[in-house]
Amino acid sequence: MGEQSYAQVLGDPKVQISNNPDEVDPVRRVAHRIIAAAKKSKYAERAKSFNWEVNVIKDDGTKNAWALPGGKIAFYTGIFPEAKNENGLAAIMGHEVVHALARHGAERMSQNLAAQVGLQTASILLGGGGVSGQLAMQALGLGTQVGVLLPFSRSHESEADYIGLLLAAEAGYDPRESVRLWQRMAQASQGAPPEFLSTHPANETRIKDLQEWMPEAMAIYERSAKASVSELPTITPPPPPVKKPAEQ
């Protein structure tokens, strides 16, 4: 999503931008400190060049947040129950800010383009036609997706988890909340696809990695200027849609 798409999202009449201070203020407080930490990180020059903007989208049924290269950040109120407090917000914020600073989206686009060119070349070499050629191309396509693109995306997620954890600690937020955050996420995402067919690490893998990185994060947190942390407002997700009975 680029600058234009971001503007289109916020300009969509169906999208409600929250002006409730109880919802907006915590997100902007956390963003202010995470951005300040990013400006002292290995991404300092890029962080200083971004035109940061933070919005909260009033959508209690959507558990999402994102940040774009250039500094546009959006949080949906539906993620508040999992974040629970400003420490949890910081874990999410750090993760999303790293995606933007590391330009992971652009790297994924390049990887996808390279994969498409490779498959087109393979199609020519295989003759491109016939049932056997089609089956081979389907197998190659699945192999590329599972063997290259998905792990490539998972490596981005792990990098964002790791550096985001350190950013949150540098910003004065307790990094231990990240583990509790993902435990809550795991409870809310029952039935997720297996890790090898997902662009994201399994919740169990994510929690294990965070615990392994915790000593480094805690050392940073112990010497940081601690943030004031408040609980987030209570959000009641909308009830799931009622399924219509199947026609006889």
Cα 91-174-61 angle, rounded to 5 deg: 35
> 71 by DSSP, 3-state: which?
coil
157 in catalytic set: no
Longest dimension (CA), the chain: 67
**Facing residues of 84 across strands?**
none
Structure tokens at 108: 């994924």
Distance CA 161, CA 153 (A): 12
Distance CA 65, CA 67 (A): 7
Residue among 96, 157, 170, 177 flagged as catalytic: 96
Distance CA 157, CA 39 (A): 21
3-state SS of 147-198 is: HHHHHHHHHHHHHHHHHHHHHHHHCCCCCCHHHHHHHHHHHHCCCCCCHHHC
HSE at residue 95, side-chain half, CA atoms within 13 A, is: 23
Please identify every residue annotated as catalytic.
96
